[in-house]
Amino acid sequence: MVRQADARNPAAARATSAWIEVSAASRPLAARWSFFWARRDVVGVLTRRILSGRYHQTLLGVGWAVVHPLLAIGVFTWVFSHWLADQAPGGSWLAHNALGWVPWGFFTTALSGSAASLVGHADLLHQVALPRLALPLAVLLARCVDLLLALVVVFGLLLVDGTPIAGSVWLVPLPIVGLGLQAVGAGMMLAYVEVRWRDVGQVLPYLLQLGVFVTPVVVPAAVLAGAWPPLPYVNPAWGHVEAVRGLALGHSLDPSIMAAAWAWTALAIAAGAFTFRRTQQHVGEWL
Amino acid sequence: MSHPLLPDDATRLVVEDLGKAFQGGPRATARGRTWALRHLSLKLGRGESLGLVGPNGAGKTTLLRVLTGVLHPEEGRFLLPSSWAGVLDNGPGFHGELSGRRNVELAGVLLGARRRDIRRKIADIEHFAGLEGYLDMPLKRYSTGMAVRLGFAVAASLEPELMFMDEVLVHVDAEFRERVENRLEELRRRGTTFVHVSHDLAWLGRMTSRVLWMHLGAVRADGAPGAILRDYAVAMHESVVGSG
């Protein structure tokens, strides 16, 4: 809580301009929007700290942001075009896999990264009060850098491959934003759960690996939905991953599946906001 | 939320009946919690410099962590000016892969400065630390003393109304220590209020105008540095002799 001091006082120039009050019953400093706004520059410097830490002492540096997805896309495309060559959805396995893997990689790394952001920065959180939103947001922004590089490469691949890119490609950022908000909202909630129960860090990687097989990343949507029709609505990432591919290649999108994906995104934002406001006071002690 | 009267213009910190408890511990109450800090009240004026002393576990660092928002209290309340800085560690967030310059920005922003203000002061910080020409080198190539100097130069570049410092001056030589003392004294004359935690009683004797002796999360004595530091030194000596 910040209030202005009495400006009529002749000593006002020397008086403190505003007071911050913290009490046992009040919201913790780190969970206040006013504190987030006052310390907003923290997001930028933390993003840079995360980026410099990720690729240090590697020959390729940030090039790994491109090599990782390329390797995965290459393997899946080679396998699928050998055994399932005649079933390529929309013409090319390369285009299909590349446009599935890149948003999926962004989603899973942003989600696991923001879920690990509090426990992973425990040393920092013992030194300074950080606005609760700062770390998950910095993780997301650092992943956006990787995503932009990967997208440039993917569209380069499509040009080489001769796959026609649809006019609706300019709308691709929309489902990307949907995925990013989903990842950071859910990731923020998981980050606070992980502070108390580190099991989250053990379980999440396996859940995300399983996610590849229930999301139209490489396995075509028709195959998965054929196995269990409610899947596109139950899987939060499904609609957004489909939308990235559909908008880039000009496929028609199912409005009800898109609505479900955005409903999941709204739910994740609500979960993140709830966490921001209501998480227990004990984060500093459990870290 | 209550709307108490604001403190007067000369006040820089008001702490009322503050309490912080942790789960477990040897002095746990019926609810399984140990009070690391309880019923602590304190008021500091503009330009005052308070030293906190006490044996390990007295609650000094817990008090600083509560007042800087790292921990949230279970009881009581406090008021502090919006312009404050909590230096609980030297060079918070320092990262070996980043250059000295980037680390200055990082630590400065984590301590509450705006990025553009830190950028404006970077030449002063470089000069104060005595590290001209080293700022573009990755921090991992700095010696321990160089990193400590840089971290402290960032903290010293801030001009908050209230500053908390927890045992940040280790690993520096006498020349740099004197430079730091001069800078802190200059800030104090301009009105900055300080709260120092240290086990270096000589340093506290020089740098404080008042000392609070803490014991088991409460205030044992509060007054002028000379008398309190002497009594505290005697008590520490007796406890060593008594247990030995």
Residue of B nearest to A57 (CA): B97
> Which 254-283 residues of chain A touch chain B by CB within 8 A?
281
Confidence of residue B221 (pLDDT cuts 50, 70, 90): very high
Secondary structure letter of residue A112 according to DSSP: H
Asked if residue B1 has pLDDT above 60, the reply is no
Confidence of residue B222 (pLDDT cuts 50, 70, 90): very high
Nearest to A19 among B6, B102, B111 (CB): B6
- At position B35, the amino acid (one-letter code) is W
Confidence of residue A172 (pLDDT cuts 50, 70, 90): very high
Rounded to whole angstroms, the Cα distance separating B167 from B163 reads: 13
What is the full DSSP assignment across B75-106? EEEEEEESSEEEESSSSTT--TTSBHHHHHHH
More confident residue, A130 or A53: A130
The share of chain A scoring above pLDDT 90, in percent, equals 44
> What pLDDT is recorded for position A64?
78
Residue whose entry in the numeric block shows the structure tokens 């008590």: B235
Question: How many angstroms separate the CA of residue B237 from the nearest CA in chain A?
Answer: 31
The share of chain B scoring above pLDDT 90, in percent, equals 76
Confidence of residue A274 (pLDDT cuts 50, 70, 90): confident
Contact between residue B73 and residue A23 where contact means Cβ atoms under 8 Å apart:
yes
> What pLDDT is recorded for position A2?
38
Q: Do B97 and A53 touch (CB under 8 A)?
A: yes
Mean of pLDDT over chain B: 90
Asked if residue A16 has pLDDT above 90, the reply is no
Computed on alpha carbons and rounded to an integer, the radius of gyration of chain B in Å comes to 19
> What pLDDT is recorded for position A266?
97
Lowest mean pLDDT among A124-133, A228-237, A277-286: A277-286
Chain-centroid distance, C-alpha A111? 5
Q: Does B78 touch chain A (CB under 8 A)?
A: yes
Listed by start position, the domains of chain A span 2-286
More confident residue, A9 or B107: B107
Confidence of residue A88 (pLDDT cuts 50, 70, 90): low
Q: Does A29 touch chain B (CB under 8 A)?
A: yes
Lowest mean pLDDT among A87-91, A161-165, B61-65: A87-91
Residues whose CB falls within 8 Å of the CB of residue B116, separated by 6 or more in sequence, listed in order: none
Q: Do A16 and B109 touch (CB under 8 A)?
A: no
Residues A96-137: tens digit of each pLDDT: 898 999 999 999 999 999 999 988 888 898 889 998 889 999
Rounded to whole angstroms, the Cα distance separating B111 from B126 reads: 18
Rounded to whole angstroms, the Cα distance separating A265 from A100 reads: 18
> What pLDDT is recorded for position A10?
38
> Which 49-78 residues of chain A touch chain B by CB within 8 A?
49, 52-53, 56
Counting one residue from A and one from B, how many pairs have CB atoms under 8 Å apart? 135
Asked if residue A14 has pLDDT above 60, the reply is no
Q: Does B47 touch chain A (CB under 8 A)?
A: no
Residues A175-196: tens digit of each pLDDT: 999 999 999 999 998 988 888 8
Residues whose CB falls within 8 Å of the CB of residue B242, separated by 6 or more in sequence, listed in order: none
Asked if residue B103 has pLDDT above 60, the reply is yes
Q: Does B88 touch chain A (CB under 8 A)?
A: yes
Q: Does A13 touch chain B (CB under 8 A)?
A: no
> What pLDDT is recorded for position A73?
85
Q: Does B97 touch chain A (CB under 8 A)?
A: yes
Contact between residue A98 and residue A245 where contact means Cβ atoms under 8 Å apart:
no
Asked if residue A76 has pLDDT above 90, the reply is no
> What pLDDT is recorded for position A1?
39
Rounded to whole angstroms, the Cα distance separating A230 from B242 reads: 74
What is the full DSSP assignment across B122-179? HHHHHHHHT-TT-TTSBGGGS-HHHHHHHHHHHHHH---SEEEEES---S--HHHHHH
Question: How many angstroms separate the CA of residue A254 from the nearest CA in chain B?
Answer: 46
Rounded to whole angstroms, the Cα distance separating A33 from A30 reads: 8
Lowest mean pLDDT among A15-19, A86-90, B58-62, B90-94: A86-90
Determine which helix (DSSP H) or strand (DSSP E) holds A6, and give its type and residue range: none
Interval B47-66 mean pLDDT: 94
Asked if residue B3 has pLDDT above 70, the reply is no
Confidence of residue B205 (pLDDT cuts 50, 70, 90): very high
Asked if residue B219 has pLDDT above 90, the reply is yes
Residues in chain B closer than 8 A to A9 (CB atoms): 9
Residues whose CB falls within 8 Å of the CB of residue A54, separated by 6 or more in sequence, listed in order: A142
Q: Do A129 and B86 touch (CB under 8 A)?
A: yes
More confident residue, A214 or A70: A214
Asked if residue B156 has pLDDT above 80, the reply is yes
Rounded to whole angstroms, the Cα distance separating B61 from B35 reads: 14
Buried b (16+ CB within 10 A) or exposed e, A28-59: bbbbbeebbebbbbbbbbbbbbbbbebbeeee
Q: Do A45 and B110 touch (CB under 8 A)?
A: yes
Q: Does B45 touch chain A (CB under 8 A)?
A: no
